[in-house]
Amino acid sequence: MGNNQTGEVSTRLIVALAVVGVLIIAAVPFGWYMWKPTVQFIEYSMGYGLEWEEDFEEFSRSEWRADERVKIVDAPERPGEKCAYINGSFDVVLSRPVTGKPPLEIEFDVRLKDDIIQEIYCFYSLFFRIRTRPEVCLLKLYTSGIAETGAQRGIEKDKTSIRKDIGFESGRWYHVKVLYEHVGENCRITTTVDKTLIGKKDLPLSKWQAIWEEANIGFVPGYGKSFIDNVSIRRIRK
């Protein structure tokens, strides 16, 4: 009888261990699946994390300010199914409010159209104060392969940070990341294209930047035409 009880205990122990093992195995992918939204929720509750993202699959003009030169089209040769096609203009043709305060990280994919004239700049990514008035230029990309970061309206003899060996060209997609932060009495702009550092530039804070009201992020295509996709902005911790 003692042997029977020992056998029953051993069987129960094996079953219990097996159940625990199955639960652990099942919990690992579930925990991994829940990790990202949990972190995002915590960051959001603390005022950090993703503010918004746009892949243009279900583009809403109520969230964006876009004029007739912006079309939603099939993305050519990646990265997504749909993207914004922006015709040439020196106005801000595509913009969206930014409610979060710096430091902010802006990301997007861009492809310049193949027929862009050499040496003519294609678009800006920038912050502007209100409506369509550009204030801080975060990035310029040229079809000649030159990229610039950092320019402030109203600052005389200001020089942007320029990188000439980026090899930027029309007809292919690039991933752009811009870190915008306030450091003391300056704003600092750090820009990378396909993980290649374009430059880091400090500019004096203007009055509206210090207050940070009615800020927007916007695109100006310049002479060229461009495809924009996967735009996102998040507030980060530094």
Separation of CA 128 from chain center? 17
Q: pLDDT, tens digit, for every residue of 165-199?
A: 566 677 789 898 989 999 998 888 888 888 888 88
> Which is more confidently placed, 18 or 122?
18
In this prediction, residue 221 carries a pLDDT of 72
From the list 123, 130, 141, the residue with the least C-alpha distance to 191 is 141
In this prediction, residue 119 carries a pLDDT of 47
> Which is more confidently placed, 34 or 72?
72
Residues in the chain: 238
Look up the pTM and report it: 0.71
Which CATH architecture does the domain made up of 50-235 adopt? Sandwich (2.60)
Does the pLDDT value for residue 234 go beyond 70?
A: yes
Q: Are 139 and 125 in contact (CB under 8 A)?
A: yes
In this prediction, residue 74 carries a pLDDT of 95
C-alpha 63/C-alpha 177 separation (Å) is 22
Q: Say what percent of the chain tops pLDDT 70.
A: 57
In this prediction, residue 52 carries a pLDDT of 93
In this prediction, residue 206 carries a pLDDT of 78
In this prediction, residue 2 carries a pLDDT of 47
pLDDT band at 146 (very low <50, low <70, confident <90, very high): low
Q: Are 175 and 232 in contact (CB under 8 A)?
A: no
Alpha carbon distances (Å) from 10 to 2, 4, 6, 20, 113: 12, 10, 6, 15, 71
3-class secondary structure per residue, 124-185: EEEEECCCCCEEEEEEEEECCCCEEECEECCCCCCCCEEECCCCCCCCCEEEEEEEEEEECC
Going by their DSSP bridges, the two strands 173-183 and 196-204 should be labelled as unpaired
C-alpha 121/C-alpha 113 separation (Å) is 12
In this prediction, residue 156 carries a pLDDT of 43
Does the pLDDT value for residue 148 go beyond 90?
A: no
Q: Which strand (E) or helix (H) includes residue 17?
A: helix 2-45
> Which is more confidently placed, 60 or 55?
55
Mean pLDDT (whole number) for 26-35: 58
In this prediction, residue 194 carries a pLDDT of 87
pLDDT band at 79 (very low <50, low <70, confident <90, very high): confident
In this prediction, residue 88 carries a pLDDT of 73
Mean pLDDT of the chain: 74
Going from N- to C-terminal start, the domains of the chain cover 1-46, 50-235
Mean pLDDT (whole number) for 139-147: 64
> Which is more confidently placed, 157 or 81?
81
In this prediction, residue 38 carries a pLDDT of 56
